[in-house]
């Protein structure tokens, strides 16, 4: 019994849903998630800090390797810092689109219509830089090896996107490559790796999304039941 090896406490938070309601709940959440679109054109309308804080708390509930919670979220609304991030990201992106990206990569991106201009990094009210911690531990101040860091931070980022979307916000999952500049600008330790830069806010009026993004694989494409 694992209970003999470690301290266990009763599970008090699990709530059983009426069997009749379970499918309806699953359908309702699926339909909420089906409405999420990545957007690249943001309104400058402010978003309350408390909403961002709550969504980060939701992200922080993700499962993680050995429960080390190897993530740190830097939420940025300061216009000067957003400008610095835009300038650094655009510099990297100019390199990327001009020389670094392979032809195959550029071909894959063509239907999205992206390029090296990233004005949304200043327009959007919030940027959330997500960092992955190679070392840490179950409590702040520890310096132990973390495990399954990429998987854990990926899960937390997915939950962050879900929380932001369900709170009525639009997002862009942005990965300027390389993202090293975020470590300096956000003043994070070198043992943390920038993972993703989430752009958060309301969509600009009459925003459009690439038709390419509406291609969704079906249940039978993405799953096998044995």
175 binds ligand IYR (CB under 6 A): yes
Among 73, 93, 159, 198, binds ligand IYR (CB under 6 A): 93
Task: Say which residue the tokens 């009026």 belong to.
Answer: 205
Among 54, 77, 114, 183, binds ligand IYR (CB under 6 A): 114
Structure tokens at 170: 């639009």
Structure tokens at 18: 């009426």
Distance of closest approach, residue 194 Cβ to ligand IYR, in angstroms: 12
Contact 70, 146 (CB under 8 A): yes
Binding region for ligand IYR (CB under 6 A) out of 17-25, 29-37, 173-181, 188-196 = 173-181
Coil, helix or strand at residue 119? coil
Q: Residue 192: CB partners within 8 Å, gap ≥ 6?
A: 72, 131, 132, 133, 134, 183
Phi first, then psi: what are they for 8, rounded to 5°?
A: -120, 150
Strands 135-136 and 126-133: unpaired
Binding region for ligand IYR (CB under 6 A) out of 107-115, 146-154, 196-204, 214-222 = 107-115
Among 136, 170, 176, 203, binds ligand IYR (CB under 6 A): 176
Contact 208, 178 (CB under 8 A): no
174 binds ligand IYR (CB under 6 A): yes
209 binds ligand IYR (CB under 6 A): no
157 binds ligand IYR (CB under 6 A): no
Contact positions vs ligand IYR (CB under 6 A)? 93, 96, 109, 112, 114, 174-177
């Amino acid at each position: 019994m694992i209970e003999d090896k470690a301290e266990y406490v009763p599970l008090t938070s699990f709530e059983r849903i009426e069997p009749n309601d379970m499918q309806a709940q699953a359908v309702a959440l699926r339909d909420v998630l089906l409405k999420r679109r990545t957007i690249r054109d943001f309104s400058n309308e402010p978003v309350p800090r408390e909403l961002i804080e709550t969504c980060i708390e939701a992200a922080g509930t993700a499962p993680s390797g050995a429960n080390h919670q190897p993530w740190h979220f830097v939420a940025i609304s300061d216009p000067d810092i957003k400008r610095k991030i835009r300038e650094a990201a655009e510099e990297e992106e100019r390199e990327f689109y001009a020389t670094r990206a392979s032809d195959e990569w550029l071909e894959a991106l063509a239907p999205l219509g992206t390029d090296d201009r990233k004005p949304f990094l200043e327009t959007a009210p919030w940027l959330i830089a997500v960092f992955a911690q190679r070392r840490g531990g179950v409590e702040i101040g520890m310096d132990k090896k973390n495990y399954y860091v990429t998987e854990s931070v990926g899960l937390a980022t997915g939950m962050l996107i879900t929380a932001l979307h369900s709170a009525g916000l639009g997002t862009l999952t942005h990965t300027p490559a390389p993202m090293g500049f975020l470590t300096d600008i956000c003043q994070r330790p070198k043992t943390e790796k920038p993972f993703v830069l989430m752009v958060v806010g309301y969509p600009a009026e009459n925003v459009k999304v690439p038709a390419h993004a509406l291609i969704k694989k079906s249940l039978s494409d993405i799953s096998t039941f044995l």
